[in-house]
Amino acid sequence: MGVTGIKFKEPIEDYLVTIYKLESLYGEARTSQIARELGVRDGTVSKVIKHLQEHGYVRVYKYRGVRLTEKGREVAARILRNHRILEVFLHDFLGFDYYRAHELAHKMEHLPQEVIDRIYEKLGKPDICVYGPPRDGGGRVVTLDAARPGACYRIVCIIEELNKTLSKLRESGCIMSCRVMIESKGSKGLVVRVEGGGKLILSMDEAKTIGAEEVSCDGFKLKAN
C-alpha cells in the first residue's frame, strides 16, 4: 500500500526510506543524493518531495535539504522493518546470498502487511536482520571509518545499506563475513583490499555504514593479478 493520497509511478515508500537512510548519515537528504540512490532525475525528486511536503511526510530546509516528519519516519521505519524481515527469510530460510536477499527483499517489501507479519511469526520473531548487528554478539564491532591502517577486519554488518555501498562491496568480491585489510586511510576515505577479491575505495561516509571486527591478518591472501 502506498502513502495515502499520493500516486506516482515510482514507489513513494522508496523515497521515504532513502531519505531516512541519508538523514541518518548526513543529518538531512539532498535532492542530488536522493536522485543518485534511486537512479532518477533531480527534477523527478523535486516533484516527489513537493508532494511529500504537501502531505506532511517531509520538511524542506532551504539550502540544506530534506528531513522526515514523524509521520514520514513512521512509514520509512515500517518499510525498513518489512525489508529486513524478508532479508532474514530469504537468506536464512531460502538460502539466498546476502546481496540477492537484499535485492529480492526490496521487490517484496510492499507485500500486504499481514503476509510479512505472518512470515515474521513463522521465523520465530527474529530481532536481528541480515544487514544489522552480528547475531552472536561476539567481538568488538567498529565502523570502517574508525579502522586502523594495516589492520585486518571481518565485515559483520551493513548499518545503512545504501545502494552505492552495496554495489561496491559486491563488485570487489566481498560477501558478508569477508576479511579485508585497510591498505591506506586519509581524511576523505579508505583503500581496502578484500581477501581473494579486489580493491575497495570507500569515502568516509560509506565507511561509516560498514560494521566490522578486527581480526588477525595471518594468511591474508590478495587476489592474484
Q: 182-224, pLDDT tens digit by residue?
A: 999 998 899 999 998 889 899 998 898 888 889 999 999 887 6
Question: Position 81: which residue type?
Answer: R
Q: Assign residue 196 a region: left if phi > 0, alpha if psi is -120 to 50, beta otherwise? A: left
pTM of the model: 0.69
At residue 135, the pLDDT reads 43
**Distance from chain centroid for Cα 35:** 16
Q: Looking at the domain 141-215, which fold is it?
A: SH3 type barrels. (2.30.30)
Share of the chain above pLDDT 90, in %: 40
Summarize the confidence of residues 134-158 as an average pLDDT: 76
Cα gap 7→42, rounded to integer Å: 19
Q: Are 28 and 61 in contact (CB under 8 A)?
A: yes
Summarize the confidence of residues 162-177 as an average pLDDT: 79
At residue 205, the pLDDT reads 84
Instruction: Give me the torsion for CA of 66, 8, 41, 49, rounded to 10°.
Output: -20
Q: Looking at the domain 12-68, which fold is it?
A: Arc Repressor Mutant, subunit A (1.10.10)
Question: Domain map of the chain by residue range?
Answer: 12-68, 78-122, 141-215
Maximum distance among all alpha carbons in the chain?
58
| Secondary structure (3-state) at 152 | strand
Angle of helix 70-88 relative to helix 12-26, nearest 10 degrees, comes to 100
Cα gap 225→215, rounded to integer Å: 25
Banded model confidence at residue 161, pLDDT cuts 50, 70, 90: low
Which H or E run includes 189? Answer: strand 189-194
Q: Looking at the domain 78-122, which fold is it?
A: Diphtheria Toxin Repressor; domain 2 (1.10.60)
Q: Is the pLDDT of residue 125 over 70?
A: yes
Q: Is the pLDDT of residue 109 over 50?
A: yes
Between the ranges 86-90, 139-143, 220-224, where is the mean pLDDT highest?
A: 86-90
Cα gap 15→101, rounded to integer Å: 20
Share of the chain above pLDDT 70, in %: 86
Task: Name the residue among 74, 124, 132 with its Cα closest to residue 102.
Answer: 132
Q: What average pLDDT does the chain have?
A: 84
Which cell numbers hold the place of 51? 508532494
At residue 87, the pLDDT reads 87
Banded model confidence at residue 160, pLDDT cuts 50, 70, 90: low
